[in-house]
Amino acid sequence: MKRPPKHAPSRIRTTGELREFQRMMAAAIVRPLTAADNLQPRWIDGRPMEKVAAEFVSPNDRLTSLERLQLYGRMYWFRLFDAIRDDCPGLIAALGEEAFARLSQAYLAHCPSRSFTLRNLCSRLERFILDHPRLTAPRTALASDIARFEWAQTVAFDGESLPVVDGATLARTPPSRLRLGLQPYVTLLDLRYPIDNFVIRIKRRDALRSEASNTPDSEAVRRAVRRVAAPRPSRTFVAVHRHHNRLYYKRLDPAAFRILGALARGSTLSRAIAAAGPGVGPARVRNWFKTWMALGWFCAHGNKRRREASLL
């Protein structure tokens, strides 16, 4: 965000002065709150925040200028905290409520929202976790895997869908020349932990908790509140995708993962299949491609227009 003006305009007579007012208001609202969930006591130039707020917010018979501005600041930040919680149930389960709260507050302070949509709020979370390992120690590796997986779910949910390559195109193009792209909503993950199973267990627990919420004396409630155990390390290859507007996680054989990864990087079909390694017979490859085609994963190479960076 552009540095805000030192003072708000005393009157708004032009569109330029309106922009200055809007920049001042926005800058005040998006500044991180204090530990007590209040606005920062001083403005960026050191002046008391009470004086700054009085320049562009009128008091009323119940609230001062600062108190009125603080309401907007709290609404903005509490909405961000709610959104990041909704997107990260796996991280909450792995780290615990207190550690996750510290992580999310630090993340949003260092990586503030720059998008018009809350959809992109967690797009930089994995990188932040790796850059600030003390916030998730001793589970930093697990936390970064979960952040990758949960962001992949967001991409799968509403990522762009491009025209699917048909069988005729495959049949008439030699494998040595054929290049296939992966749909933008498909994310291939090489994970250190079986995060897919972990997230599934969390969703089942939360569904059970919701179902049993009206029967507090039942055994179902006691099962629902049990903590989901963190997964043990086990290298796992997963494709996170959607099919018929539903979210899915598909485990991949390591050789199948290598084929898809090579295609995603622009290799020809013949080179991608060779990347599977020795011992992978034609029947296995044929069955994999039959499944991937049925799921609609392939689009024309070069048409895969990922627009994530422009939305962050």
Residue range 242-298, pLDDT digits in tens: 999 999 999 999 999 999 999 999 999 999 999 999 989 999 999 999 999 999 999
pLDDT at residue number 225: 52
Q: Is residue 94 part of a domain?
A: no
* Last-in-domain residue among 215, 230, 245: 230
Q: What are phi and psi of 181, to 5 degrees?
A: -100, 160
DSSP 9: -
Residues 20 and 151 both lie in one domain? no
Where residue 308 falls among pLDDT bands split at 50, 70, 90?
Answer: very low
Looking at per-residue confidence, does 166 or 176 come out higher? Answer: 176
pLDDT (mean) for 80-97: 96
282: its two tokens: 């034609």
Q: Work out the percent of the chain whose per-residue pLDDT is above 70.
A: 90
Residue 135 belongs to a domain: yes
Give the model's pLDDT for residue 303.
Answer: 57
Residues 272, 175: Cα–Cα separation, whole Å = 10
Q: Which residue has the tokens 């049949």?
A: 171
**Residues 187, 60: one domain?**
no
214, 230, 246: which is the final residue of a domain? 230
Let me know if residue 110 belongs to a domain.
yes
The tokens of 64 are what? 């001062």
Is the same domain home to 165 and 212? no
Domain count for the chain: 4
Same domain as 302, residue 190: yes
Cα distances from 159 to residues 52, 90, 122, 152, in angstroms, run 42, 21, 15, 10
Range 48-57, long-range pairs (CB < 8 A, 24+ positions): 52/28, 53/28, 55/7, 55/8, 55/10, 55/24, 56/8, 56/9, 56/21, 56/24, 56/25
In a shared domain, residues 164 and 174: yes
Asked whether the predicted pLDDT for residue 305 surpasses 60, the reply is no
Same domain, 177 and 210: no
Q: State the Cα–Cα distance between residues 186 and 202, nearest whole angstrom.
A: 22
As a whole number, mean pLDDT of residues 198-219 equals 74
Is residue 63 very low, low, confident or very high in pLDDT (cuts 50, 70, 90)? very high
pLDDT of residue 218: 57
Per the domain annotation, does 204 fall within a domain?
Answer: yes
- pLDDT above 90 covers what percent of the chain? 75
Domain stop point among 87, 120, 144: 87
Q: Is the pTM of this model over 0.85?
A: yes
What's the mean pLDDT in 176-205?
95
Asked if the structure places residue 97 within a domain, the reply is no
Contact 190, 257 (CB under 8 A): yes
Give me the domain span that covers residue 10: 1-87
Asked whether residue 311 carries a pLDDT value surpassing 50, the answer given is: no
* DSSP 8-class letter at 164: B
Per-residue pLDDT band at 160 (split at 50, 70, 90):
very high
Could you tell me if 148 and 290 lie in one domain? no
Q: How far apart are CA 294 and CA 287, in angstroms?
A: 11
Identify whether residues 26 and 79 lie together within a single domain: yes
Q: How does DSSP assign 189-203, residue by residue?
A: EEESS-HHHHHHHHH
The b-or-e profile of 215-249 (16+ CB within 10 A means b, else e) is: eeeeeebeebeeebeebeeeebbbbbbbeeeeeeb
Q: Are residues 301 and 239 in the same domain?
A: yes
Q: Which DSSP letter does residue 5 get?
A: P
Look at 19-28, 210-219, 227-236, 280-289 and tell me which has the smallest mean pLDDT: 210-219
Same domain, 3 and 44: yes
1 three-state secondary structure: coil
Residue 99 lies in a domain: no
Domain assignment of residue 96, yes or no: no
Does residue 92 sit within a domain? no
- Rounded mean pLDDT, 10-35: 90
Whether 158 has a pLDDT exceeding 80, the answer reads: yes
Whether 292 and 183 share a structural domain = yes
Q: What is the pLDDT of residue 226?
A: 63
* Residue 182 and residue 269 in one domain: yes
